[in-house]
Amino acid sequence: MTRSLRALVLPVAMTLALGPLTAADATTRNPPGLVAAYGFEEGSGTTIVDSSGHGNHGTTAGAQWVDGPFGKALRLGNHSPQLAQVVVPHSPSMRLTTGMTLETWIRPTTPADLYAFVRDEPSSSYFISVTSMDDPYMMPRTWAGLFDEYLGGPHAPLNVWTHVALTYGDRLLRLYFNGQLVGEQATIADQITAADAPLLLGTLFDPEQLTSPPWLLDEVRVYNQALTAEQVQADMRRAVSGAVFAGPPPTSPTLSGTGGQGRATLSWTAAQDVLGALYQVHRSTTAGFTPSPATLVTTVNALNHVDTEPAPGTTYYKVVAVDAVGHATPSNTITVAVTPITSALVAAYGMNQTSGTTVTDASGKSHHGTAVVPITSAPGKYGNALSSPANSSNYIRVPDHADLDLTTAVTLEYWSKLPPGWARTWVNKSSTNTQKCCYRLGWSQLSSGASASSRVDIHPEWNVSVQLDNRDARVPADQWHHVAHTFDRGVARLYVDGNLVDRFDDYSPWTRIEVSTAPLEMYTEQGGLLDEVRVYNIALSQAQIRHNMTVPVG
């Protein structure tokens, strides 16, 4: 499916750990397309020097030079008898049409609307406007033809340096806070309306309003093309003039947390930092661990996080405060006891019956099943297993129940062992008369080896289903293998022996699983063995699936 429009307004949740700034970072050559660059290192006077080489120098009156994230910065706004701003006369190099990038460091000092880039109205070509109000909005905008195209993002925190960037290219606007994408919007027109107005730095959107609260601005760059996220991040760590950030690293946050079923709830104190800190959450099963990319869970712009992916057991956590140039300070280490997930378990079958036709549900939900062929003793992965004759089949049928009509998320998992030749096992909930399938997980054996397949139906009107398999990577026959399938928020995953073998997320706009009144059925054919079936109403993480592999049902 091809999407022509995508709009995101997200909290700043980041997964990138930037290394510390080095002298090499400060002097690396800028990406191509730079048409204006202002480091504000003059210290006095009325001229603002353009370091791009295009001669787009500006003038200012009333601005004050202060310490910035890299060398000097400008204090703009009404801190003096006149409105302090920078005016850059129009030039052909500043007439951006098919692509652009605007970047700056900003530091609001009072709660108000603040503006970093403005083209004179009514012919604005492009601008970034930034607010520090508690009712957050952000309106970076390009004018394209007769349409004003804009998207929103988070507000900028007070008294903290924040890097903001807006890119436009290929009919797509992207907004970045501290190097991370926080908004994306397709545009109607394919170019920016050209204007011959000057570029104004540090002024209000309304040209008739002559007041502006004081605020700080540094490291302004203008490109005539859209930079990539990596290029924006590189600019964020590099000064226009070559100056190196010399400020202190963040202070250490204090971490606390509690455990629960398949989760850890964490909170921490705010780190003090002049650039503003983000927080990396790290998890390990080893006491005294050192945070690394392998232990990183996520990065957030908040003072709390709920980790829903740890395996049951003793888990250790650290939070690392990271500023915009990569300085990092870890918190204390805490120990959290994570317990097995039982509330989301809707059916579980250990297959430990050795006779009769009743199969007991160990989840506590009493979704007991009935085998069509009397059960016989067969060695399972743990205890007994459901078996079938060599040339026939057997299956267990569990009556439909609201617990089993999963609509938003599912995990299916079980152990299976198949003899050489043709055989298979599967678990599914489907309407056989319409061929519709709510959810299904299968394990099949051919002469070339065994493989897994899964399916979940998510759009009954259009008959859309997500189907996964690992048929191009079959595994040896006559061995126990664990298979698992998860689906949540449009993302499907297939695991074999705890390893992710297939994933699909192109159907993320459709997240509801089709409901069927059919029974839940567990099949085995041609001598296959089926054991340790679990059904959850959530998508387990890989770590949680691997934990289940080591623990029998019940």
> Who wins on pLDDT, 166 or 25?
166
pLDDT band at 16 (very low <50, low <70, confident <90, very high): very low
* Residue 246 within a domain: no
Q: Is a pLDDT exceeding 90 seen at residue 157?
A: no
3-state SS class at 129: strand
The mean pLDDT of 321-343, rounded to a whole number, is: 93
421 and 535, same domain (yes or no): yes
CB 424 within 8 A of CB 443: yes
Q: Which range of residues forms the domain containing residue 212?
A: 8-236
Q: Are residues 223 and 297 in the same domain?
A: no
**For residue 369, is pLDDT > 90?**
yes
- The pLDDT, as a whole number, for residue 460 is 55
Q: Which residue has the higher pLDDT, 445 or 37?
A: 37
Residue 535 lies in a domain: yes
Three-state DSSP state, 233:
helix
Six-digit token pair at 145? 């033809």
CATH number at residue 292: 2.60.40.10
Residue (of 285, 274, 284) closest to 319 by Cα position:
284
- Do 375 and 333 fall into the same domain? no
Final residue of a structural domain among 190, 209, 236: 236
CATH of the domain at 437: 2.60.120.200
Domain membership flag for residue 282: yes
Which residue type, as a one-letter code, is found at position 67? D
Confidence at residue 356, expressed as pLDDT on a 0 to 100 scale: 92
Do 333 and 365 share a domain, yes or no? no
pLDDT in tens, 213-255: 567 889 999 999 999 999 998 898 889 987 666 678 899 999 9
- Shared domain for 468 and 541, answered yes or no, is yes
Q: Are strands 72-76 and 162-169 parallel, antiparallel or unpaired?
A: unpaired
Residue 468 confidence class, pLDDT cut points 50, 70, 90: confident
User: Do residues 260 and 288 both lie within one domain?
Assistant: yes
Q: How confident is the model at residue 161 (pLDDT cuts 50, 70, 90)?
A: confident
Supply the pTM of this predicted model: 0.67
- Asked if residue 245 is part of any domain, the answer here is no
Question: What is residue 203's predicted lDDT score, i.e. its pLDDT?
Answer: 64
In a domain, 247, yes or no: no
* Residue 43, CA distances (Å) to 46, 79, 157, 235, 236 in order: 10, 17, 26, 22, 22
350 with 334, same domain: the answer is: no
First-last CA distance in the chain: 42
Q: What is the pLDDT of residue 431?
A: 61
Domain count, the chain: 3
Residues 90 and 108 occupy one common structural domain? yes
Among residues 319, 338, 357, which one ends one of the domains? Answer: 338
The share of the chain scoring above pLDDT 70, in percent, equals: 79
Q: Is there a single domain that holds both residue 268 and residue 351? A: no
Does residue 92 belong to any structural domain of this protein?
yes
Residues 192 and 94 in one domain: yes
**What does each C-alpha distance from 199 to 151, 226, 354, 407, 435 come to in angstroms?**
21, 18, 82, 53, 63
- In the listed set 304, 338, 372, which residue is the last one of a domain according to the structure? 338
pLDDT digits (tens, 9 = 90+) for 108-129: 877 665 555 555 444 556 666 6
Q: Does residue 85 share a domain with residue 38? A: yes
In a domain, 249, yes or no: no
Indicate whether 419 and 526 sit together in one domain. yes
